[in-house]
Structure 1
Amino acid sequence: MSEYLETPAGRRIAFQRSNGRGPGVVFLGGFKSDMTGTKAAWLHDWARGQNRAFLRFDYSGHGDSSGVFEEGCIGDWFADARHVIEALTDGPQVLVGSSMGGWISLLVARAMPQRVAGLVTVAAAPDFTEQGFWAGFSEAQRQAVMTKGRVALPSDYADQPYVITRRLIEDGRDHLVMNQPLPLPFPVRMLQGTADTDVPVDWAVRLLDHAGGDDVRLTLLKGADHRFSTSECLALIARSIDDVLA
């Protein structure tokens, strides 16, 4: 059953956690996904089997949390993640960031590195509002975003289109991580599928090159797609968490 946490901004964040030894594991999900997804649920069960503390949650406008998805932005979801980690966990945590959650986890790591024991990213999508959406928009789509405040894009993961707002784009520019130094002074394991059609492999390679740190590795899994949820993918995520903890 979900519990709820009120943030300083007045957002009601749904979360599920299990107690266990530390460092705990915190799962940060993707754009328009929620904590009932395959990776989040599987990792919760895995952590329980390891007697490892675990936390998963829904950003505002996602899942069971308050708010409207289309009104949210990276800054809001980063603030949600930061508050959840500060309020609901003790000591350094291993962050597991999937897709947009990879970007959010990098923002958390930059803001409070003392609370990060290690980082595992899964198809990380840093700066995707800029290097994905904005860079890929036609001139007509850019005009629609700037004059009408929104544009609708078809989704491979839901019946309804994604509505991309001017606020999402402009706020994203305030939270870029690839345009300035990105020190990661803890073990980092980046995972990426070669058949991912949402996050190109070269994004993963660029992030590897860009990140600062003495223990940063990228693993490419041949044939894995963006969901990264097959038994082989899930086992690789778990091994990567173990590797970081070791």
Structure 2
Amino acid sequence: MAGPSYFETGAGRRLAYHRTDGAGPGVVFLGGFMSDMEGTKALALEDWAREAGRAFLRFDYSGHGQSDGAFTEGCIGDWAADARAVIEGLTEGPQILVGSSMGGWISAILARDIPEKLAGFVGIAAAPDFTEDSMWAGFSAEDRARLEADGVVYLPSDYGDPYPITRRLIEDGRQNLVLRAPLAMDVPVRLLQGTADEDVAREVALALLDHIDAPDLRLTLVKGADHRFSTPECLALVIAAIDEVTR
């Protein structure tokens, strides 16, 4: 497979991406926290888009994957700005955003900030406001003191090395919360959530379901599916959801 192309944002961040030409509305995959565009879901959707003749974009946020920058220097606001920059710079017309985990939060920010670029939203284990409602809320007094003193704490991960959680990540997250104010999406929305997800509880999906104001909004709970949501059956549900929100 050919290497990525690169896009430089107005903030000077150099982001890696792969773009597939095709018909609209285009589909943009927004990955999760410390993940990259080479994951199973992103590649499967790219294969589907190519076969279907649909425009498709996958990319790495700064500090992720093949993009420039250090992960520990980034935050939700930076990564949302990265996503906005590549969508505005590399796509034409409204797009269907497919947001996985943190990508679901970033999709919600984009839906609020650039609604004219939104054709539909598919959330996969979407994790809005997780820096506040999951990380900060779950920190012990010792964790909070260490974060204040050292600027970083490390959380265990089932996917490899511990997650470095910076004070900037937490503080910036508070400036980008989406569940504290009305969240309108005047497009079809599909939320997909596994019941065996140990990273994002089904209550988060229910909160997002209740919070989004959309004319066509459905939540599908998949019994036994985990956070990766990458089995053939789960991938088929993602593609079906994209088909449902395509006008």
- Which residue matches 1:22? 24
Query: What letter is aligned with 1:8?
Result: G
Moved over 2 A (4+): none
Query: What letter is aligned with 1:24?
Result: G
Q: TM-score, normalised by structure 2?
A: 0.98
Rounded to whole Å, the distance in 2 between the matches of 1:203 and 1:154 is: 21
- Which residue matches 1:172? 173
- Which residue matches 1:214? 215
- Which residue matches 1:89? 91
Q: Deviations over 1:162-205 (max 9, x none)?
A: 11000000000000000001001100000000000000000000
Rounded to whole Å, the distance in 2 between the matches of 1:146 and 1:117 is: 41
Alignment of 1:98-117 (within 5 A): 98-117=100-119
Do structure 1's residue 55 and structure 2's residue 47 form an aligned pair? no
Following superposition, the deviation at residue 229 of structure 1 comes to 0.2
Query: What letter is aligned with 2:126?
Result: A
Query: What letter is aligned with 1:116?
Result: L
The 3-state SS of whatever aligns with 1:180 is: coil
Query: What letter is aligned with 1:121?
Result: G
Q: Deviations over 1:197-232 (max 9, x none)?
A: 000000000110111111111000000000000000
Do structure 1's residue 200 and structure 2's residue 201 form an aligned pair? yes
- Which residue matches 1:45? 47
State the percentage of identical aligned residues: 64
Do structure 1's residue 188 and structure 2's residue 200 form an aligned pair? no
Q: TM-score, normalised by structure 1?
A: 0.99
The number of residue pairs the alignment matches comes to 245
Query: What letter is aligned with 1:137?
Result: F
The 3-state SS of whatever aligns with 1:63 is: coil
RMSD over aligned CA atoms reads 0.6
Do structure 1's residue 152 and structure 2's residue 154 form an aligned pair? yes
- Which residue matches 1:223? 224
Rounded to whole Å, the distance in 2 between the matches of 1:90 and 1:189 is: 22
- Which residue matches 1:79? 81
5+ residue gaps, structure 1:
none
- Which residue matches 1:31? 33
Following superposition, the deviation at residue 154 of structure 1 comes to 1.1
